[in-house]
Amino acid sequence: MTERIWTAALVVIGDEILSGRTQDKNVAQIATWLNVQGIRLAEVRVVSDRTEAIVEGVNALRARNDYLFTTGGIGPTHDDITVDAIAAALGVEVTHHPQALAVLERYYASRGGLTEARKRMARVPEGAELIANKLSGAPGIRIGNIFIMAGVPHITAGMLDALTGTLEGGRPVISRTIGCWVAESEVADLLRETERAHEGVAIGSYPFFREGRVGANFVVRATEPAIAEACVADLLARLAAVGLAGVPDGI
């Protein structure tokens, strides 16, 4: 029987990402976190701060994945439209969540009070639950299989902490790396044959140019440690057989 693979998608929202003013760091941290939960990040889409772009991205990606995460656009300003756009995508109204209002009221009691702008951060699509945020008060939002999160990476990290262990998934993917001073084109057939010889393994090749030489790191991925280790041993042996020295843990 084929093992169930759980997948997630990510919609990164924000003109500042697309303009290059801000470099996104959430893709890597969300992918890493998902792996530990036994969920694979299958696709990522970056969209502008436009309702139609968010609606299209959310509806397309939530339909073909078990989970959908969004980052960005849930702050207090007029251009933070993620909540409204996702509510539109789901065909529900936007409402102030009473628990979110209470959290924000406590958080801002000694920070100038809960202004109308700050109240915007308590707005959720109707029927949503909250994701705890211990860092900045404003909670994340969960509705169905959608998780609406902050764009600021360290706040996103706190929200992921709050979700740890709450999502159903499969077995975590583990990875092992071998480095080699060789052009990947020279070992493409060797890599393909090694992967085929080990069911349940995927081998990725990541070339680089360093110290005036070309090389590549080969990443072996599997859900079973023993299968991954057997593939690594085989790959090292195959490289040695053609006169190449593999470097455990990569270069």
Per-residue pLDDT of the chain (251 residues; tens, 9 = 90+): 556 889 999 999 999 999 999 999 999 999 999 988 989 999 999 999 999 999 999 999 999 999 999 999 998 888 899 999 999 999 999 999 999 999 999 999 988 889 988 999 999 999 999 999 988 888 999 999 999 999 999 999 999 999 998 998 888 888 899 999 999 999 999 999 999 999 888 999 999 998 899 999 999 988 888 999 999 999 999 999 999 999 999 99
Indicate the helix (H) or strand (E) that contains 222: strand 213-222
What are the helix (H) ranges across the chain? 15-19, 26-36, 51-63, 82-90, 98-108, 116-119, 153-163, 188-196, 225-241
Structure tokens at 106: 């406590």
The rounded distance, in Å, linking the Cα atoms of 153 and 144 is 23
The rounded distance, in Å, linking the Cα atoms of 30 and 49 is 21
Q: Are 190 and 239 in contact (CB under 8 A)?
A: yes
pTM of the complete model beyond 0.75 = yes
